Structure 1
Amino acid sequence: MITDADSWWHRFKSIGAIAVFHVDLIPDQGREAEAFEWLDEEERSRWERFQSPTAQRRYVLCRAALRAILCRQIGCPNESLAFEAAKHGKPFALVNGLPASVSFNVSHSGSHGLIAVAPRGRLGVDVEEREPRRNLENLIEGVFSPREKAELESLDGFQQLHAFFRFWTIKEALVKAHGKGLSMKVAELEIPDDMRQGTAKSVGQFAQIPGTSWCLEDIGTQEFAAAVAYEVSPSL
Protein backbone atom coordinates (compact mmCIF):
# COMPACT_ATOMS: atom_id res chain seq x y z
CA MET A 1 0.00 0.00 0.00
CA ILE A 2 1.34 3.43 -0.95
CA THR A 3 1.67 5.82 2.00
CA ASP A 4 1.45 9.62 1.96
CA ALA A 5 5.19 9.83 2.63
CA ASP A 6 6.22 8.07 -0.59
CA SER A 7 3.31 8.86 -2.91
CA TRP A 8 3.77 10.83 -6.14
CA TRP A 9 0.61 12.87 -5.62
CA HIS A 10 -0.44 15.40 -2.99
CA ARG A 11 -3.41 17.61 -2.20
CA PHE A 12 -2.95 20.73 -4.30
CA LYS A 13 -6.07 22.76 -3.52
CA SER A 14 -9.39 22.54 -1.67
CA ILE A 15 -12.51 24.27 -3.00
CA GLY A 16 -15.23 23.66 -0.44
CA ALA A 17 -15.84 19.90 -0.52
CA ILE A 18 -13.84 19.55 -3.75
CA ALA A 19 -10.27 18.31 -3.43
CA VAL A 20 -7.74 18.80 -6.22
CA PHE A 21 -4.61 16.65 -6.21
CA HIS A 22 -1.38 17.23 -8.13
CA VAL A 23 0.28 14.15 -9.67
CA ASP A 24 4.02 14.23 -10.36
CA LEU A 25 4.56 12.67 -13.79
CA ILE A 26 8.34 12.89 -14.05
CA PRO A 27 10.00 9.59 -15.08
CA ASP A 28 10.61 7.24 -12.15
CA GLN A 29 10.84 3.51 -12.79
CA GLY A 30 10.20 2.59 -9.16
CA ARG A 31 7.02 4.64 -8.95
CA GLU A 32 5.80 3.37 -12.32
CA ALA A 33 6.31 -0.25 -11.27
CA GLU A 34 4.47 0.37 -8.00
CA ALA A 35 1.66 2.18 -9.82
CA PHE A 36 1.28 -0.70 -12.29
CA GLU A 37 0.40 -3.04 -9.42
CA TRP A 38 -2.72 -0.93 -8.73
CA LEU A 39 -4.17 -1.50 -12.20
CA ASP A 40 -6.77 -4.14 -12.99
CA GLU A 41 -6.54 -6.47 -16.00
CA GLU A 42 -8.39 -4.14 -18.39
CA GLU A 43 -6.24 -1.17 -17.37
CA ARG A 44 -3.03 -3.16 -17.86
CA SER A 45 -4.19 -4.11 -21.36
CA ARG A 46 -4.91 -0.46 -22.07
CA TRP A 47 -1.45 0.50 -20.76
CA GLU A 48 0.13 -1.97 -23.19
CA ARG A 49 -1.70 -0.39 -26.14
CA PHE A 50 -0.12 3.03 -25.64
CA GLN A 51 2.50 3.62 -28.33
CA SER A 52 5.04 5.61 -26.31
CA PRO A 53 6.70 5.24 -22.89
CA THR A 54 5.62 8.80 -22.09
CA ALA A 55 1.94 7.99 -22.63
CA GLN A 56 2.32 4.80 -20.58
CA ARG A 57 3.96 6.68 -17.72
CA ARG A 58 1.29 9.40 -17.60
CA TYR A 59 -1.50 6.84 -17.71
CA VAL A 60 -0.18 4.49 -15.04
CA LEU A 61 0.81 7.23 -12.58
CA CYS A 62 -2.49 9.10 -12.95
CA ARG A 63 -4.67 5.98 -12.85
CA ALA A 64 -2.95 4.53 -9.79
CA ALA A 65 -3.17 7.88 -8.00
CA LEU A 66 -6.86 8.11 -8.90
CA ARG A 67 -7.47 4.61 -7.55
CA ALA A 68 -5.67 5.37 -4.27
CA ILE A 69 -7.51 8.68 -3.82
CA LEU A 70 -10.93 7.18 -4.54
CA CYS A 71 -10.33 4.14 -2.32
CA ARG A 72 -9.59 6.50 0.56
CA GLN A 73 -12.50 8.82 -0.31
CA ILE A 74 -15.05 6.00 -0.65
CA GLY A 75 -13.55 3.68 1.94
CA CYS A 76 -13.17 0.59 -0.24
CA PRO A 77 -10.33 -1.78 -1.18
CA ASN A 78 -8.71 -1.36 -4.58
CA GLU A 79 -10.01 -4.76 -5.72
CA SER A 80 -13.62 -3.51 -5.36
CA LEU A 81 -13.08 -0.42 -7.53
CA ALA A 82 -13.73 -0.38 -11.28
CA PHE A 83 -14.54 2.20 -13.95
CA GLU A 84 -17.04 2.53 -16.76
CA ALA A 85 -17.73 5.32 -19.26
CA ALA A 86 -20.95 7.28 -19.72
CA LYS A 87 -22.57 7.86 -23.12
CA HIS A 88 -20.14 10.58 -24.19
CA GLY A 89 -17.05 8.89 -22.74
CA LYS A 90 -16.78 10.47 -19.29
CA PRO A 91 -15.71 7.78 -16.79
CA PHE A 92 -17.44 7.04 -13.50
CA ALA A 93 -16.52 4.77 -10.60
CA LEU A 94 -18.11 1.48 -9.56
CA VAL A 95 -17.70 -0.25 -6.21
CA ASN A 96 -18.57 -3.94 -6.29
CA GLY A 97 -20.39 -3.31 -9.56
CA LEU A 98 -22.56 -0.43 -8.29
CA PRO A 99 -22.10 3.28 -9.16
CA ALA A 100 -20.16 5.10 -6.43
CA SER A 101 -21.45 8.35 -4.96
CA VAL A 102 -18.37 10.33 -5.92
CA SER A 103 -17.52 12.63 -8.79
CA PHE A 104 -14.03 12.94 -10.28
CA ASN A 105 -12.10 14.17 -13.28
CA VAL A 106 -8.48 13.80 -14.43
CA SER A 107 -6.19 15.84 -16.67
CA HIS A 108 -2.48 15.73 -17.47
CA SER A 109 0.05 17.70 -19.50
CA GLY A 110 3.80 17.31 -19.59
CA SER A 111 5.03 16.42 -16.10
CA HIS A 112 1.86 17.56 -14.33
CA GLY A 113 -1.39 15.74 -13.62
CA LEU A 114 -4.45 17.01 -11.75
CA ILE A 115 -7.24 14.93 -10.20
CA ALA A 116 -10.38 16.65 -8.89
CA VAL A 117 -12.75 14.77 -6.57
CA ALA A 118 -16.11 15.83 -5.12
CA PRO A 119 -18.83 14.04 -3.12
CA ARG A 120 -21.38 14.68 -5.89
CA GLY A 121 -22.20 16.90 -8.87
CA ARG A 122 -20.65 17.31 -12.28
CA LEU A 123 -17.01 18.29 -12.16
CA GLY A 124 -14.21 19.02 -14.63
CA VAL A 125 -10.51 19.88 -14.39
CA ASP A 126 -7.93 20.76 -17.02
CA VAL A 127 -4.18 21.39 -16.88
CA GLU A 128 -1.80 22.53 -19.62
CA GLU A 129 1.91 23.24 -19.58
CA ARG A 130 2.52 26.59 -21.27
CA GLU A 131 4.53 25.30 -24.20
CA PRO A 132 4.52 27.26 -27.51
CA ARG A 133 2.05 25.91 -30.08
CA ARG A 134 2.85 25.99 -33.80
CA ASN A 135 -0.82 26.17 -34.70
CA LEU A 136 -1.77 28.76 -32.10
CA GLU A 137 -3.55 31.04 -34.59
CA ASN A 138 -5.72 28.15 -35.85
CA LEU A 139 -6.58 27.13 -32.30
CA ILE A 140 -7.59 30.68 -31.42
CA GLU A 141 -9.77 30.83 -34.52
CA GLY A 142 -11.45 27.49 -33.83
CA VAL A 143 -12.32 27.49 -30.13
CA PHE A 144 -12.87 31.09 -29.07
CA SER A 145 -15.73 33.54 -29.46
CA PRO A 146 -15.26 36.81 -31.42
CA ARG A 147 -14.69 38.78 -28.20
CA GLU A 148 -12.26 36.20 -26.84
CA LYS A 149 -10.37 36.15 -30.14
CA ALA A 150 -10.15 39.94 -30.21
CA GLU A 151 -8.72 40.00 -26.69
CA LEU A 152 -6.16 37.29 -27.49
CA GLU A 153 -5.16 38.89 -30.79
CA SER A 154 -4.53 42.21 -28.99
CA LEU A 155 -1.70 40.49 -27.09
CA ASP A 156 1.59 39.06 -28.32
CA GLY A 157 4.46 36.90 -27.20
CA PHE A 158 4.36 35.53 -23.67
CA GLN A 159 1.24 37.52 -22.74
CA GLN A 160 -0.75 35.97 -25.58
CA LEU A 161 0.49 32.46 -24.79
CA HIS A 162 -0.32 32.89 -21.10
CA ALA A 163 -3.83 34.21 -21.82
CA PHE A 164 -4.45 31.49 -24.43
CA PHE A 165 -3.74 28.67 -22.00
CA ARG A 166 -5.74 30.36 -19.25
CA PHE A 167 -8.77 30.71 -21.52
CA TRP A 168 -8.26 27.20 -22.93
CA THR A 169 -8.15 25.45 -19.54
CA ILE A 170 -11.24 27.29 -18.29
CA LYS A 171 -13.22 26.20 -21.36
CA GLU A 172 -11.90 22.64 -21.27
CA ALA A 173 -12.77 22.27 -17.58
CA LEU A 174 -16.35 23.38 -18.32
CA VAL A 175 -16.69 21.04 -21.31
CA LYS A 176 -15.38 18.13 -19.26
CA ALA A 177 -17.69 18.96 -16.35
CA HIS A 178 -20.72 18.99 -18.62
CA GLY A 179 -19.67 15.62 -20.00
CA LYS A 180 -20.77 15.88 -23.64
CA GLY A 181 -17.33 16.47 -25.12
CA LEU A 182 -17.09 17.15 -28.84
CA SER A 183 -20.87 17.47 -29.22
CA MET A 184 -20.60 20.97 -27.71
CA LYS A 185 -19.73 24.08 -29.73
CA VAL A 186 -16.81 25.24 -27.63
CA ALA A 187 -16.54 28.67 -29.29
CA GLU A 188 -20.04 29.49 -28.06
CA LEU A 189 -19.12 28.83 -24.43
CA GLU A 190 -17.80 32.33 -23.81
CA ILE A 191 -15.73 32.83 -20.67
CA PRO A 192 -17.41 35.36 -18.32
CA ASP A 193 -16.22 38.95 -18.68
CA ASP A 194 -14.79 39.16 -15.16
CA MET A 195 -12.62 36.06 -15.70
CA ARG A 196 -11.32 37.31 -19.03
CA GLN A 197 -10.31 40.48 -17.21
CA GLY A 198 -8.35 38.52 -14.61
CA THR A 199 -10.75 37.44 -11.84
CA ALA A 200 -9.81 33.99 -10.58
CA LYS A 201 -13.37 32.77 -9.93
CA SER A 202 -16.78 33.33 -11.49
CA VAL A 203 -20.28 31.84 -11.41
CA GLY A 204 -22.44 31.94 -14.53
CA GLN A 205 -24.86 30.23 -16.86
CA PHE A 206 -24.36 29.29 -20.51
CA ALA A 207 -26.92 29.10 -23.31
CA GLN A 208 -25.69 25.64 -24.35
CA ILE A 209 -26.23 24.34 -20.80
CA PRO A 210 -29.62 25.75 -19.79
CA GLY A 211 -30.91 25.51 -16.25
CA THR A 212 -27.53 25.05 -14.56
CA SER A 213 -25.18 27.51 -12.92
CA TRP A 214 -21.48 26.70 -13.07
CA CYS A 215 -18.56 27.89 -10.98
CA LEU A 216 -15.32 28.35 -12.90
CA GLU A 217 -12.04 28.76 -11.05
CA ASP A 218 -8.55 29.48 -12.35
CA ILE A 219 -6.09 27.40 -10.30
CA GLY A 220 -3.01 27.88 -12.49
CA THR A 221 0.53 28.41 -11.16
CA GLN A 222 3.77 29.70 -12.63
CA GLU A 223 4.44 26.16 -13.89
CA PHE A 224 1.12 25.44 -15.62
CA ALA A 225 -2.31 26.76 -16.52
CA ALA A 226 -5.24 24.98 -14.88
CA ALA A 227 -8.92 25.39 -14.10
CA VAL A 228 -11.80 23.65 -12.34
CA ALA A 229 -15.49 23.82 -13.27
CA TYR A 230 -18.35 22.45 -11.21
CA GLU A 231 -22.09 22.67 -10.77
CA VAL A 232 -23.12 25.25 -8.22
CA SER A 233 -24.67 23.56 -5.20
CA PRO A 234 -25.09 24.68 -1.59
CA SER A 235 -23.29 21.52 -0.50
CA LEU A 236 -20.06 22.25 -2.44
Structure 2
Amino acid sequence: MMTFTTDLQTLLPQLSPWLSETEAAHALTYQHPARQQQYQGGRALLRQLVCETHGYAPEQVHIRRQPNGAPLLQIAGVSWFCSISHTANAVAVAASPTQPLGIDIEQLKPRRRQDAIIKQYQNGFFVDIGPNDLEGFYQRWTLAEAVTKLEQGLLLKTLRRDPSNYLKKAEFQHQDHCLTCLYRP
Protein backbone atom coordinates (compact mmCIF):
# COMPACT_ATOMS: atom_id res chain seq x y z
CA MET A 1 0.00 0.00 0.00
CA MET A 2 1.18 3.50 -0.74
CA THR A 3 0.04 7.08 -0.56
CA PHE A 4 1.52 10.44 -1.43
CA THR A 5 0.81 14.15 -1.42
CA THR A 6 2.08 16.81 -3.76
CA ASP A 7 0.79 19.61 -1.52
CA LEU A 8 2.55 18.96 1.75
CA GLN A 9 2.21 22.47 3.16
CA THR A 10 -1.59 22.35 2.90
CA LEU A 11 -1.87 18.78 4.20
CA LEU A 12 0.61 19.09 7.09
CA PRO A 13 -1.83 20.65 9.61
CA GLN A 14 -4.24 17.74 8.96
CA LEU A 15 -1.39 15.26 9.48
CA SER A 16 -0.14 16.71 12.77
CA PRO A 17 -2.31 14.39 14.93
CA TRP A 18 -0.49 11.45 13.32
CA LEU A 19 2.94 12.73 14.38
CA SER A 20 4.43 11.60 17.69
CA GLU A 21 5.84 14.16 20.12
CA THR A 22 9.31 12.66 19.64
CA GLU A 23 9.03 13.00 15.86
CA ALA A 24 7.80 16.60 16.13
CA ALA A 25 10.77 17.44 18.36
CA HIS A 26 13.23 15.64 16.07
CA ALA A 27 11.95 17.55 13.04
CA LEU A 28 13.14 20.76 14.68
CA THR A 29 16.74 19.49 14.59
CA TYR A 30 16.71 20.03 10.81
CA GLN A 31 17.98 23.47 9.87
CA HIS A 32 15.67 24.18 6.93
CA PRO A 33 11.89 24.51 7.40
CA ALA A 34 11.21 22.60 4.17
CA ARG A 35 13.20 19.62 5.45
CA GLN A 36 11.37 19.81 8.80
CA GLN A 37 8.04 19.65 6.95
CA GLN A 38 9.21 16.73 4.79
CA TYR A 39 10.30 14.78 7.86
CA GLN A 40 7.03 15.47 9.69
CA GLY A 41 4.94 14.74 6.60
CA GLY A 42 6.69 11.45 5.87
CA ARG A 43 6.30 10.10 9.39
CA ALA A 44 2.73 11.31 9.84
CA LEU A 45 1.58 10.10 6.41
CA LEU A 46 3.14 6.67 7.00
CA ARG A 47 1.46 6.32 10.39
CA GLN A 48 -1.89 7.48 9.00
CA LEU A 49 -1.65 5.03 6.09
CA VAL A 50 -0.97 2.06 8.37
CA CYS A 51 -3.55 2.99 11.00
CA GLU A 52 -6.37 3.75 8.59
CA THR A 53 -5.66 0.76 6.35
CA HIS A 54 -5.09 -1.86 9.04
CA GLY A 55 -6.92 -0.49 12.07
CA TYR A 56 -3.94 0.08 14.37
CA ALA A 57 -3.88 2.78 17.03
CA PRO A 58 -1.26 5.51 16.41
CA GLU A 59 0.60 4.62 19.61
CA GLN A 60 1.17 1.08 18.25
CA VAL A 61 3.13 2.44 15.28
CA HIS A 62 6.79 3.28 15.83
CA ILE A 63 9.01 4.72 13.10
CA ARG A 64 12.69 4.81 13.89
CA ARG A 65 15.80 5.53 11.90
CA GLN A 66 18.20 2.69 11.09
CA PRO A 67 21.98 3.32 11.22
CA ASN A 68 22.01 3.66 7.41
CA GLY A 69 19.27 6.32 7.55
CA ALA A 70 16.42 4.13 6.27
CA PRO A 71 13.17 4.17 8.25
CA LEU A 72 12.33 1.19 10.44
CA LEU A 73 8.61 0.59 10.94
CA GLN A 74 7.40 -1.47 13.90
CA ILE A 75 3.72 -2.05 14.52
CA ALA A 76 2.56 -3.69 17.73
CA GLY A 77 6.10 -5.07 18.11
CA VAL A 78 6.28 -6.53 14.57
CA SER A 79 8.67 -5.14 11.94
CA TRP A 80 7.11 -4.08 8.63
CA PHE A 81 8.68 -3.08 5.34
CA CYS A 82 8.41 0.64 4.58
CA SER A 83 9.83 3.39 2.42
CA ILE A 84 9.58 7.20 2.55
CA SER A 85 10.50 9.70 -0.15
CA HIS A 86 10.22 13.46 -0.47
CA THR A 87 10.97 16.24 -2.91
CA ALA A 88 10.14 19.93 -2.55
CA ASN A 89 6.48 20.05 -1.42
CA ALA A 90 5.74 16.36 -2.01
CA VAL A 91 6.01 13.23 0.14
CA ALA A 92 5.36 9.57 -0.72
CA VAL A 93 5.20 6.60 1.65
CA ALA A 94 4.67 2.87 1.30
CA ALA A 95 4.34 0.01 3.77
CA SER A 96 3.77 -3.74 3.77
CA PRO A 97 3.73 -6.33 6.53
CA THR A 98 5.08 -9.02 4.18
CA GLN A 99 6.69 -7.65 1.02
CA PRO A 100 9.87 -5.56 0.62
CA LEU A 101 9.32 -2.33 -1.29
CA GLY A 102 10.90 0.96 -2.24
CA ILE A 103 9.32 4.27 -3.20
CA ASP A 104 10.54 7.49 -4.77
CA ILE A 105 8.88 10.75 -5.76
CA GLU A 106 10.42 13.46 -7.93
CA GLN A 107 9.31 16.72 -9.51
CA LEU A 108 9.28 16.52 -13.30
CA LYS A 109 11.64 19.36 -14.16
CA PRO A 110 14.93 19.53 -16.04
CA ARG A 111 17.71 18.36 -13.76
CA ARG A 112 21.18 19.78 -13.59
CA ARG A 113 23.58 17.34 -15.26
CA GLN A 114 20.65 15.31 -16.65
CA ASP A 115 22.37 14.86 -20.03
CA ALA A 116 25.62 13.81 -18.36
CA ILE A 117 23.80 11.28 -16.15
CA ILE A 118 22.00 9.77 -19.15
CA LYS A 119 25.27 9.53 -21.08
CA GLN A 120 27.21 8.04 -18.15
CA TYR A 121 24.62 5.31 -17.55
CA GLN A 122 23.42 4.72 -21.13
CA ASN A 123 24.56 1.10 -20.88
CA GLY A 124 22.62 0.73 -17.64
CA PHE A 125 19.42 2.25 -16.34
CA PHE A 126 19.27 4.93 -19.06
CA VAL A 127 19.49 2.60 -22.06
CA ASP A 128 17.20 3.92 -24.82
CA ILE A 129 16.63 7.26 -23.03
CA GLY A 130 17.41 10.35 -25.11
CA PRO A 131 18.83 13.60 -23.72
CA ASN A 132 15.51 15.46 -24.12
CA ASP A 133 13.30 12.68 -22.75
CA LEU A 134 12.33 14.21 -19.41
CA GLU A 135 9.57 11.66 -18.74
CA GLY A 136 11.86 8.72 -19.58
CA PHE A 137 14.65 10.14 -17.46
CA TYR A 138 12.45 10.47 -14.37
CA GLN A 139 10.82 7.10 -14.90
CA ARG A 140 14.24 5.47 -14.74
CA TRP A 141 15.56 7.80 -12.01
CA THR A 142 12.62 7.17 -9.64
CA LEU A 143 12.86 3.45 -10.34
CA ALA A 144 16.61 3.43 -9.57
CA GLU A 145 15.98 5.33 -6.32
CA ALA A 146 13.15 2.97 -5.31
CA VAL A 147 15.27 -0.13 -6.04
CA THR A 148 18.21 1.34 -4.12
CA LYS A 149 16.00 2.08 -1.11
CA LEU A 150 14.56 -1.43 -1.13
CA GLU A 151 18.02 -3.00 -1.34
CA GLN A 152 19.53 -0.38 0.98
CA GLY A 153 22.33 -0.26 -1.55
CA LEU A 154 24.18 2.37 -3.55
CA LEU A 155 22.44 4.39 -6.26
CA LEU A 156 25.52 4.46 -8.52
CA LYS A 157 25.61 0.65 -8.54
CA THR A 158 21.91 0.45 -9.33
CA LEU A 159 22.31 2.89 -12.24
CA ARG A 160 24.83 0.55 -13.88
CA ARG A 161 22.29 -2.30 -14.15
CA ASP A 162 19.90 -3.29 -16.94
CA PRO A 163 16.49 -1.84 -15.98
CA SER A 164 14.27 -4.28 -17.89
CA ASN A 165 13.49 -6.69 -15.02
CA TYR A 166 12.92 -3.82 -12.60
CA LEU A 167 10.51 -2.03 -14.96
CA LYS A 168 8.23 -5.08 -14.96
CA LYS A 169 7.78 -4.77 -11.19
CA ALA A 170 7.33 -1.01 -10.93
CA GLU A 171 4.20 1.11 -10.62
CA PHE A 172 4.30 4.76 -11.69
CA GLN A 173 1.82 7.52 -10.87
CA HIS A 174 1.72 11.14 -12.07
CA GLN A 175 0.24 14.01 -10.11
CA ASP A 176 0.87 17.76 -10.15
CA HIS A 177 4.16 17.64 -12.07
CA CYS A 178 5.48 14.82 -9.90
CA LEU A 179 6.22 11.20 -10.69
CA THR A 180 6.03 8.49 -8.03
CA CYS A 181 7.53 5.02 -8.45
CA LEU A 182 6.67 2.07 -6.21
CA TYR A 183 8.92 -0.95 -6.71
CA ARG A 184 8.15 -4.41 -5.30
CA PRO A 185 10.26 -7.41 -6.35
Name the TM-score class by shorter chain.
Answer: 0.7 to 0.9
TM-score, normalisation: structure 1? 0.66
Query: In the alignment, is residue 108 of structure 1 matched against residue 86 of structure 2?
Result: yes
1:191 and 2:146 are equivalent in the alignment: no
Q: Does residue 1:216 correspond to 2:170, yes or no?
A: yes
Structure 1 partner of 2:25: 45
- Kindly name which structure, 1 or 2, has the bigger radius of gyration based on alpha carbons: 1
Structure 1 match to 2:100: 122
> Does 2:115 match 1:137?
yes
Secondary structure of 1:51's aligned partner? coil
Q: CA RMSD in A?
A: 2.8
Amino acid at match of 1:122: P
Instruction: Select which of 127, 148, 165 maps to 2:138.
Output: 165
AA partner of residue 102 (structure 2): G
* Cα distance change of structure 1 residues 87 and 54 upon mapping to structure 2, 3 Å threshold: closer
Correspondent of 1:78 among 51, 54, 58? 58
SS across alignment from 1:59: helix
Which residue is 1:11 aligned to?
none
> 118, 140, 149: which one pairs with 1:176?
149
Point out 4+ residue stretches in structure 1 off by more than 6 angstroms. none
Percent identity, aligned pairs only? 22
Given that 1:92 and 1:99 are in contact with CA atoms closer than 8 Å, whether structure 2 keeps it comes out as no
Q: Is the 8 A contact 1:145 1:190 kept in 2?
A: no
Unpaired runs of 5+ residues, structure 2, are none
Partners of 1:32 and 1:224 lie apart in 2 by: 18
Summarize deviations over 1:42-89 as a string: whole Å, max 9, x none: 312321012222222222223212111112334322123212344543
Residue segments in structure 1 that go unaligned for 5+ positions in a row: 1-18, 196-200, 203-214, 232-236
Using CA pairs under 8 Å that are at least 6 residues apart, name the structure with larger relative contact order, 1 or 2: 2
Quick check: 1:99 aligned with 2:78?
Answer: yes
Aligned pair count reads 185
* One-letter amino acid of the structure 1 residue matched with residue 162 of structure 2: E
The answer for the alignment partner of 2:123 in structure 1 is 146
- SS for the counterpart of 1:165 is helix
* TM-score in terms of structure 2 length: 0.81
